[in-house]
Structure 1
Amino acid sequence: MEEVERLRAERNAVANKMKEKLDPSLRQALVDEGKNLKESLIALEEDLVQLTDKLQLEAQSIPNTTHPDVPVGDEESSVTRKEVGSQRSFSFPIKDHLQLGKDLDLFDFDAASEINKFQIPYKLYIVTMTERKNAPSEVSGSKFYYLKNEAVLLEMALVNWGIAEVSKKGFTPLITPEIVRSSVVERCGFQPRAQNTQCVCLASRPQREEFWEGLEDMVRSVPIGKKLFIGGDLNG
Structure 2
Amino acid sequence: MIDPTLLRDNPDLIRQSLQARGGEIEAVDRAIVADDARRAAITEFETLRGEQNLFGKKVAAAKGEEKSALVADAKALAEKVKAAQANLQEAEANAKKALYALPNLVSEGVPAGGEENFHTLKTVGDKPSFDFPVRDHLDLAEALGIIDMDRGAKVSGSRFYFLVGAGALLENALMQRAIQLAVGEGFQLMMPPTLVRPEVMQGTGFLGEHASEVYYLPHDELYLTGTSEVALAGYHSDEIIDLSAGPLRYAGLSTCYRREAGSHGRDVRGIIRVHQFQKLEMFSYTSQGDAEAEHERLLGWQEQLLGELGLHYRVIDVAAGDLGSSAARKYDIEAWIASQGDYRELTSTSNCTTFQARRLGTRHRVEPDGNTEAVATLNGTLATTRWIVALLETHQQPDGSIRVPESLQPFVGQDTIRARGDQ
Determine if the TM-score, normalized by the shorter chain, exceeds 0.5. Answer: yes
Match of 1:213 in 2: 224
Q: How many residues align?
A: 162
Residues 195 and 225, structure 2, Cα contact 8 Å, conserved in 1: no
Counting aligned pairs with the same residue, the percent is 28
Output the CA distance in 2 between the equivalents of 1:65 and 1:85.
Answer: 33
Residues 202 and 212, structure 1, Cα contact 8 Å, conserved in 2: no
Q: Report deviation, 1:62.
A: 1.7
Q: Which runs of 5+ in 2 are unaligned?
A: 1-84, 241-285, 295-423
Q: Report deviation, 1:212.
A: 4.6
Larger RCO: 1 or 2 (CA < 8 Å, sep 6+): 2
Q: Report deviation, 1:59.
A: 3.4
Deviations 1:77-123 (A, max 9, x none): 33221111112333322322121112101222222234xxxxxxxxx
Q: 1:80 to 1:196 in 2, by over 3 A?
A: closer
Amino acid at match of 1:67: S
Match of 2:397 in 1: none
Q: Report deviation, 1:164.
A: 1.1
Match of 1:92 among 120, 132, 138: 132
Q: Report deviation, 1:233.
A: 5.3
Q: Do residues 186 (structure 1) and 186 (structure 2) align?
A: no
Match of 1:112 among 152, 166, 173: 152
Q: Report deviation, 1:149.
A: 1.6
* Equivalent residues in 2 for 1:1-236, closer than 5 Å: 56-73=96-113, 76-114=116-154, 127=155, 139-141=156-158, 143-192=159-208, 197-203=214-220, 210-215=221-226, 216-227=228-239, 230-232=287-289, 234=291
Residues 113 and 145, structure 1, Cα contact 8 Å, conserved in 2: yes
Residues 200 and 230, structure 2, Cα contact 8 Å, conserved in 1: yes
- For residue 190 of structure 2, give the secondary structure of its aligned residue in structure 1: coil
Q: Report deviation, 1:74.
A: 5.1
Residues 199 and 214, structure 1, Cα contact 8 Å, conserved in 2: no
Amino acid at match of 2:199: S
Q: 1:217 to 1:92 in 2, by over 3 A?
A: same
Output the CA distance in 2 between the equivalents of 1:89 and 1:197.
Answer: 39
Q: Report deviation, 1:167.
A: 0.8
Match of 1:8 in 2: none
Q: 1:145 to 1:66 in 2, by over 3 A?
A: farther
RMSD: 3.4
Q: Which runs of 5+ in 1 are unaligned?
A: 1-45, 115-126, 128-138, 204-209
Amino acid at match of 2:218: C
Output the CA distance in 1 between the equivalents of 2:132 and 2:101.
Answer: 56
Alignment TM-score, normalising by the size of structure 1: 0.56
Q: Report deviation, 1:75.
A: 5.4
Q: Report deviation, 1:147.
A: 1.7
Amino acid at match of 2:217: V
Q: Report deviation, 1:70.
A: 3.0
Alignment TM-score, normalising by the size of structure 2: 0.33
Match of 1:122 in 2: none
